[in-house]
Amino acid sequence: MKRRTVVTLLTTALAALTSVALEFADVKDIPYYSAEELAAKGDYARAMCRLNLRYPLGVTNFATVVSIHGGGLVRGHRGNGPWPQERRGKDPVAFVAVEYRLLTNATPEECVGDAAAAVAWTLRHVSEYGGDPRKVFVSGVSGGGYLTAMIGLDPSWLAAHGYKPTDLAGIAPLTGQMATHFNVRAVSQKDDSPRFKPKFDRWAPIYHIATNPMPPAAFLTGGREYELKSRVEENALLESALRALNHPNIEFHETEGSHAGGVAPSSYFLRDFVMKTVDAGAVGRFAPNERVAFLGDSITHGGGFVSFLQLFVALRHPGWNVRCYNVGISGDSTGGALDRIGWDLKTYRPDRVFVMLGMNDIGRGYWETAEPTPLQAKGRADAIARYTRNQSDLVEKLDRLGVKRVLITPTPYDQYSKNAKAVCAVCCNDPGLATCATIVRELAARHSLGLVDLHAPLTETLRANPELLLCGNDRVHPVPVGHLLMTAHILEAMGESPLVARVSINAETGTADALGDPGSRNVVLTAVSGDPTNGVAFTYAPKALPLPVTKKYRDAERLYPLTERFNHEDFIVRGLAAGRYSLAFDGREVGVFTADEFAAGVNVAILDTPNQRVAQATASTADGLRGCESRRRTLPQIDRLVRRQKIDPADFAAADACLDAWFAGQEKRKSPQLEYYRRVLASYRELRTQRRLIAAQCEDLIERVNVVRPLVSRVTITPVAK
């Protein structure tokens, strides 16, 4: 695997971004029938029945997406399927681009049969290139979506090659027809009935739904106002019928845009579907109603990045009801995390667990000098061996728990700052924690797990900005800006889009462009009016909110392009007469811009709009959640001391005796953390009588963050008097 680090110069500092650039190999024009079969099928089959394979080098057990092209079954050419722009070339996923005989020169049996043969070829041969045949997905757009559904729902097509639909990891038709395809009717059946009159015979995917097992499925379309007639409703009906027949792992997403314009937003759901269905070596976005736990040490216990992630998903995806849980414990290690999976982590009932540990595993005292003493060298080797063993055991134990796993490389120790007050362990980060990061990367690759690499980019940021004390005076715990940078790198790995919303208006006609690329996105626009001279007006109902532009945000922006990467709410107005224009929300001006600036796009996410104010108020609630979760985590932190002595924490008298003896031992050893322990024990004794209350308060704060919704505003863009 080739990795490249890109360092971008921003206004006042260096932004260190780690972009994992995978190398891919391309194999083209592979026939998916044997030479004998092609000879029997003729010249047209010999020319058309081929596929291209693009697969990641240096990766094993990768997932594969078979992409079947669209074109109404009468036109089109093979090509890799849609994938989010932000993750192209970065996810270790292979793509198979399929060509097939078209109805203009073939029968429906030959057309669908070719697509099934290409899928069977992939199942049979992908392991030769390093892929896992258990991780093969089939997808396609329009006519390709129809073929995908036929292969996934009618078992006869794969049965001809010795396979069944459940041999697939999943199917994801994009804007496919679920009734009999209109060109099967018009071209092959010579049926001259109206195109949008539905017909349900054996050539209709929906005809084949049954209680027989089928693979997981995601049905994806554009918006019903812009899609082909009945296309959204056909997919929704199929999804509803499959659910009624108790098929698990069925989902439907109506995105937005036209038949073609709906593909771009659908690509994010396609990627999510792959990542949450199998271990595919990358990190999917949060899913609606997902419960996500973050297992870690004090850096997690502090809660900053966890609350930022909760805030982001609530603002960017209102109504998804994701719940991010802080499951960190100060002072924890991989061994400690292993011990508490059953009695701590499991109580949160997570669907997915992000694991970030290492700071307390390496024994920082062993790394105080560049050249270790024999005792230090042995300590280093033992610590690294223990970390390797425990991380592997964690991965396997979480697998047995039945949750999806994401590994995070440990955040760096700041051995680069000359200003921090703490004594500097000159090798703690490099090579100490850097070795741990390598172990995590290798473990993720071995198990095809999602990976978030925080160590490499944050280390580069520390090196470039030693004066900022991003890990505080103790060189260990990231300051709030550091937690925001951690959040950004996690969201980057998840493949989140920069888009909050986009308005695209033509002032010359006084109309808004349709939803989809390159038009408006993630918004409902009504009552649009205007002309080049007098400006435009419209009622603006975005489907997401911007990130709050706070002091932490502005400080982080100097180190990482937060706005460029995650916070675009663009107002594009073409055709305005030259001059300056006032931009107002509900009659309150938020800025003045030129006609050229509006034509290029004004990013209102960073302006003082009504929704920016909502975002900032929600950020305050999220900060309250961070504090509440941190208090909540004090309870298992001290519970563990008691549990290790086989004492029930609910037995206060026995627990107090145990804790008093433990603290006396710390006093006798003259622990440098004595005052910290004194404060934590006092807090624990106060909080332990309020366990249920604190848990309820945290849950309530999550709800308060999650109920946020965008405001609707009347926007005016009017000329400024000269």
- Using one digit for the tens of pLDDT, what is the confidence trace for 87-123? 999 999 999 999 999 999 999 999 999 999 999 999 9
β-partners of residue 531 are 535
Residues 369 and 383 in one domain: yes
Domain tally, the chain: 3
Residue 8 has a pLDDT of: 26
Coil, strand or helix: which one is 410? Answer: coil
Pairing assessment for the beta strands 217-221 and 62-68 based on DSSP bridges: unpaired
Residue 268 host element (H or E): helix 263-277
Q: What average pLDDT does range 627-637 have in this prediction?
A: 96
Task: Report pLDDT for 20.
Answer: 58
CA distance 719 to 583: 9
The angle at the Cα of 713, spanning 711 to 716, to the nearest 5 degrees, equals: 155
State the residue range of the domain holding 10.
4-277
- SS3 of 163-216: the string is CCHHHCCEEEEECCCCCCCHHHHHHHCCCCCCCCCCCCCCCCHHHHCCCCCCCC
Residue 604 has pLDDT above 70, yes or no: yes
Express each pLDDT in 526-568 by its tens digit: 999 999 999 999 999 999 999 999 999 999 999 999 999 999 9
Same domain, 302 and 387: yes
Q: How far apart are CA 583 and CA 695, in angstroms?
A: 44
Contact 562, 486 (CB under 8 A): no
Distance between CA atoms of residues 606 and 665, nearest Å: 53
Say how far apart CA 271 and CA 265 lie, in whole Å.
11
Residue type, 638: I
Instruction: Report whether pLDDT(1) > 90.
Output: no
Residue from 560, 543, 606 nearest 316 by CA:
543
Residue where a domain terminates, one of 440, 465, 491: 491
H/E stretch holding 95 reads strand 93-98
Which token pair is 78? 């093979």
pLDDT tens per residue across span 266-319: 999 999 999 999 999 999 999 999 999 999 999 999 999 999 999 999 999 999
* pLDDT for residue 2: 30
Alpha-carbon radius of gyration of the chain: 28
Residue 4 has pLDDT above 90, yes or no: no
Amino acid 423: pLDDT: 80
Cα–Cα distances in angstroms (integers) from residue 12 to residues 461, 556, 558, in the given order = 13, 11, 6
Q: Are the C-beta atoms of residues 111 and 147 closer than 8 Å to each other? A: yes
Tokens of 644: 């290790």
- Give residue-wise pLDDT tens across range 445-504: 999 999 999 999 999 999 999 999 999 999 999 999 999 999 999 999 999 999 999 999
Sheet strand arrangement including 580-585: 523-531, 535-542, 713-719, 580-585, 588-594
Residues 439 and 518 in one domain: no
CB-CB contact of 167 with 157 (8 Å): no
**pLDDT 10s digits, 697-720:** 999 999 999 999 999 999 999 999
Number of residues written out for the chain = 722
Q: Is 131 helix (H, G, I), strand (E, B) or coil?
A: strand
Both 438 and 586 in one domain: the answer is: no
Q: Which of 440, 466, 491 is the last residue of a domain?
A: 491
Mean pLDDT of 192-206: 94
Do both 273 and 308 map to the same domain?
A: no
Residues 342 and 314 in one domain: yes
Alpha helices in 522-609 (DSSP H): 551-557, 562-566, 595-600
Average pLDDT over every residue of 2-8: 27
Residue 19: the pLDDT is 46
Domain CATH for 62 = 3.40.50.1820
Q: Which of 277, 307, 339 finishes a domain?
A: 277
pLDDT tens, residue by residue, 110-169:
999 999 999 999 999 999 999 999 999 999 999 999 999 999 999 999 999 999 999 999
287 and 271, same domain (yes or no): no
3-class DSSP state for residue 270? Answer: helix
Task: Please give the average per-residue pLDDT across 15-21, as a whole number.
Answer: 44
Kindly report the average pLDDT of the chain as a whole number. Answer: 94
Spatial CB neighbours of 532, under 8 Å, sequence gap ≥ 6? 507, 508, 575, 576, 577
The first and second tokens of residue 128, run together, are 């030769």
Q: 3-state SS of 310-341?
A: HHHHHHHCCCCCCEEEEEECCCCCHHHHHHHC
Name the β-bridge partners of 327.
Answer: 295
The β-bridge relationship of strands 450-452 and 404-408 is parallel
> Which one-letter DSSP state was computed for residue 99?
-
* Long-range contacts of the stretch 462-467 (C-beta < 8 A, 24+): 462/412, 462/414, 462/416, 462/417, 462/429, 463/16, 463/416, 464/7, 464/13, 464/14, 464/16, 465/13, 465/14, 465/559, 466/414, 466/416, 466/417, 466/418, 466/419, 467/417, 467/419
Question: Is the pLDDT assigned to residue 630 strictly greater than 70?
Answer: yes
CA dist 140 and 70 (Å) reads 7
The string of pLDDT tens digits covering residues 217-257 is 999 999 998 999 999 999 999 999 999 999 999 999 999 98
Q: Please check whether residues 339 and 323 belong to one and the same domain.
A: yes
By the 10 Å C-beta count (0-12 exposed, 13-18 middle, 19+ buried), 665 is classed as exposed
Q: Element (H or E) spanning 217, and its range?
A: strand 217-221
Check whether residue 303 and residue 269 sit in a common domain.
Answer: no
Do both 108 and 179 map to the same domain? yes
**Cis peptide bond upstream of 155, omega within 30:** no
CATH number at residue 452: 3.40.50.1110
Return the H-helix or E-strand segment holding 352. Answer: strand 352-356
pLDDT at 436: 98
Kindly state whether residues 106 and 20 are assigned to the same domain. Answer: yes
Q: Dihedrals φ, ψ of 29, to 5°?
A: 60, 45
Give mean pLDDT, residues 414-434. 90
Whether 226 and 288 map to the same domain: the answer is no
DSSP conformation letters of 469-538: -TTTTTTSS--HHHHHHHHHHHHHHHT--SEEEEEEEETTTTEEPPBSTTSBBSEEEEEEEEETTTEEEE
Nearest to 461 by CA among 11, 151, 15: 15
Task: Report, as an integer, the average pLDDT of 199-221.
Answer: 96
pLDDT tens-digit map of 649-677? 999 999 999 999 999 999 999 998 999 99
